[in-house]
Structure 1
Amino acid sequence: MSGDYQIRRFEPAAKNEPDYDAAVAWSRAVAFGFHEESKSETRIDRGLAMSRADHSVFTGVYQTSEPAAYSLSAEVPVATFATWRKTLNVGFGKLVDAHLISAVTVRTSHRRRGLLRQMMSEDLALAKDDGVAIAALTASEASIYGRFGFGVATSEQSITVDTSARFKLNHAPEGTVEVADPKILLDLAPQIFEQQHRHLPGSIDRQESYRQYVSGSVGGDGADGDGGPDAKIKAALHYASNGDVDGYVSYKFGGWETEPATMEIVDLVAANSAAYLELWQYLGAIDLVERVKWSGVSVDNPLTWALEDPRCVKGSDPRDMLWLRILDIQKALEERQFPADGTLVLKVRDALGLTPGTFSLDVREGHATVTATDAAPDLELDISVLSSIYLGAVHPASLVAAGRIQENQQGAAFLAAQMFAVERPAFCPTHF
């Protein structure tokens, strides 16, 4: 990045605070970068309030020289970046701090000048210095982030479920489902998600915007496009046998012009399998509806296996979801539990220089000890690849076959698969 630019970091200020104008200009730049319509001031203020609740930090790259005549003001950033901290479930109920990255844009007329590399390099180094071992993001373009050491850690798909007479679950009913005012999810959604979060490897704790959207408090067209309440949102709750609420579904009708009549899931969260299946039983029983769609589902969705006719579920558009970036190998590996004991020597490349080297990973009774070593490596790999196998997203043998891992010791890839496995398929239901 040349001297024609400077990086500024600031908090999402409220009105009458010093950085408010900068936060508004930053928000408009993000909307432009993602081809969104111009947002009203009301909508921007609502977004800034949610960002403050998450203690977000905004980063912008600004021109230091006079912009071209008639072009956007120098106060509008040419590149943007947002970060905040949440917990990541790394398996077996262990939650660790993760540095989340979002709102990454670079204005077309300022591309290929090293702006993203400078923002990313500085930010990841600051996060590591702050003691965070893992960074995470979701990628709008999959070709961008591998160069910065990120690797795909979870995947997702869209599903369409036929809820006509074919839909029948093979399960013993547990608990009950009742319709509720969706506004109750402002309070209940975070509580129920926390229960799910604690037993789902790959899960990222949710940002403030989630409870707002799933409750219908925001997300509607509103007056003048202000993104106010969404009157289409409906909600149902699952009650366990003891009366506790342990699951919810937020959904909306696709409209009578859609054939067959379709219900669209906005969010479905369940603390256990019984709640998950009972919520699906409810969705499958809604009158005048023959189809349910859901756009963010685990590739290993158990619904298919619970149905008498598994062909009721049609999956489509399988895609990467969560990308992880290990910032500190020793801390990241020692923070998680391992289901199989063993010793591996890993030689790790890191183009950003954050955590390269050769490390001995020694696991005894599920606990890891990681030390730098001069021993010959069993496996050689990039930090992006280590980040992908960290939660068992891909079998290391597949990465050997793809040329992404060099296996120097026969059987090392298989041992790595056993050691890095988690108790259930990793999945991240949190978009950010």
Structure 2
Amino acid sequence: MPQSYEPGINRQSRPFPYELRTFASRLEDGKASAELAKWMQAVALGFHGDTLGDAEISKYAASTEVDGQMATGAYLIDATAPEGAWGPDYPVATYAYHRKNLNVGAGTLLPVHQITAVTVRPSHRRRGLLRAMMGSDLAQAKAAGIPIAALTASEATIYGRFGFGVATDSSNIEVTVKGGLEFIVSAAASQGVVEIADVGVVRDLHNEIFARVHATTYGSIGRQDMYRLSASGEPTYGRSEPMKNIRAALHYDASGAVDGYVTYRPRQEKARSTVDIVDFLAVNDAAYLALWNYLGSLDLIDVIIWDSAPVVDPLEWAMAAKRLYKRTVTEDHLWLRILDTPGALAAREYPADGTLTIHVGDPLGHASGIFKIAVVHGKATVTRCPEDGSVESELSMGVSELSSLYLGGVSARTLQKAGRIREDSPRAVARFDAMFAAAEAPHCMTDF
């Protein structure tokens, strides 16, 4: 007899009564397979999104196919469902990945394994499902030669145990614009031309503009195809209806070429009128400030709200009244997980030459070892050292700490004060910070 699917009955008769299945997230003969459709419904359930219809499922499958997304589901083995409940053909846990790249400076776009759609049904938690999916996936990514994995987390305490560390933060900001924005150097915010456009134009421009921004933004990670739809207010995961009252403005440079855009939505709160920024991309500083100048000129608006602002924002220092720029939330955004320590460290740029030997601990074994980092003219050679006691490390840390330090978003001194790294040789922390310092704060513009 098959074991019962009903909660609490015989579910522990197997140590791990689940099968992990991985399949491409794509259309087959013009539509999503039943397996993929049920997987997508499980993802929507996990993130409290709208129930998906056939049209939405086909649309999303077409988009994820562009990204080469691979979906994993955990399915109960030998199970039957109580009458009316989702059956065992619906996964009780979901997971997916796609691969794009990460801007690590000096024009280098490093291949990265981007993890997304991680859910576990509440009735199946604490049974090792996430560990099984994550462990298998990271091992395969390492075997494929991908040096770093990445994710953006809905919860802050889940992924550290898998070796992930916070690499960038982002801010929610409110900018008071009642009466207009005044800039200290008005000419800096008045270059080029800003004009209104149909929001559908942004959908068509998105990929080109983002590629240009991504190539010059330290800490930026590749965007999935769905972004061109969400930026223009079209239905996306979690929202089956188009966004209403969304507007778009484009910035044109001196030659008349588009080099930035903002999409936004006005709304009326009880005590004030606001504009919520939907997406904001600017290829250069002139386009960025000019688009903010435009937003500040909107009539009948008190406040502009943006939930993806950089932590170090030139707008704050361009405004004449700095106090009108307020951060309402600053929180972790991009999490990185180094898989190949020599490959990852050799890829990024370094502002100072020097040598340092570090010990990296990794409970999964992918990034662990003793490594000598030798930087000459800003480029690193990373050598794995024997672990027989013949080489002593100067600095010891876990892979989570090294992953947080990778882009320079936090200093080794700060992590030392937090008790998270150990200095084994005098001034090793100071030397590490000199070598790993970033010329600018890393900023990620992508959720996934």
Q: TM-score, normalised by structure 2?
A: 0.92
Structure 1 unaligned runs (5+)? none
Structure 1 residue 18: Cα displacement: 9.6
Q: What residue identity is the alignment partner of 2:119?
A: T
Aligned counterpart for 1:337 among listed residues 346, 349, 359: 349
1:423 aligns with 2:423: no
Structure 1 residue 338: Cα displacement: 1.2
What's the secondary structure of 1:208's corresponding residue?
coil
Aligned counterpart for 1:94 among listed residues 108, 133, 154: 108
Counterparts of 2:73 and 2:146, CA distance in 1: 22
Counterparts of 1:264 and 1:321, CA distance in 2: 19
Counterparts of 1:127 and 1:258, CA distance in 2: 49
Structure 1 residue 67: Cα displacement: 3.4
What do residues 152-184 of structure 1 show as CA deviations (whole Å, max 9, x unaligned)? 000011011100136201231211111111111
Aligned counterpart for 1:169 among listed residues 158, 183, 193: 183
CA contact (8 A) 2:26 2:64 kept: no
Counterparts of 1:314 and 1:410, CA distance in 2: 40
Counterparts of 2:61 and 2:23, CA distance in 1: 12
Q: What residue identity is the alignment partner of 1:431?
A: D
What are the residue-to-residue correspondences of 1:25-424 with 2, within 5 Å?
A: 25-70=38-83, 71-165=85-179, 167-171=181-185, 172=187, 173-218=190-235, 226-227=240-241, 229-255=242-268, 257-374=269-386, 375-424=391-440
Counterparts of 1:362 and 1:345, CA distance in 2: 9
Structure 1 residue 42: Cα displacement: 1.8
Change (3 A) 1:232 1:18: closer
Q: What residue identity is the alignment partner of 1:7?
A: L
CA contact (8 A) 1:248 1:268 kept: yes
Counterparts of 1:262 and 1:412, CA distance in 2: 49
What's the secondary structure of 1:198's corresponding residue?
helix
CA contact (8 A) 1:137 1:324 kept: yes
Q: What residue identity is the alignment partner of 2:49?
A: E
What do residues 386-414 of structure 1 show as CA deviations (whole Å, max 9, x unaligned)? 00000001011010011110011222112
- Aligned-residue sequence identity (percent) comes to 44
What do residues 40-99 of structure 1 show as CA deviations (whole Å, max 9, x unaligned)? 222222221211111100001111121352342110001100100111001222111100
Counterparts of 1:62 and 1:18, CA distance in 2: 22
Structure 1 residue 367: Cα displacement: 1.0
CA contact (8 A) 1:214 1:233 kept: no
Counterparts of 1:119 and 1:38, CA distance in 2: 25
CA contact (8 A) 1:181 1:234 kept: yes
Q: What residue identity is the alignment partner of 1:208?
A: D
Structure 1 residue 14: Cα displacement: 2.1
Structure 2 unaligned runs (5+)? 1-13
CA contact (8 A) 2:44 2:237 kept: no
Counterparts of 2:27 and 2:65, CA distance in 1: 9
Counterparts of 1:252 and 1:184, CA distance in 2: 16
Structure 1 residue 230: Cα displacement: 3.0
What do residues 236-290 of structure 1 show as CA deviations (whole Å, max 9, x unaligned)? 11111121211100111114x5432111100111111111000000000011112
Counterparts of 1:422 and 1:91, CA distance in 2: 9
Q: What residue identity is the alignment partner of 1:393?
A: G
Change (3 A) 1:45 1:29: same
CA contact (8 A) 1:237 1:249 kept: yes
Q: TM-score, normalised by structure 1?
A: 0.95
Aligned length, in residue pairs: 427
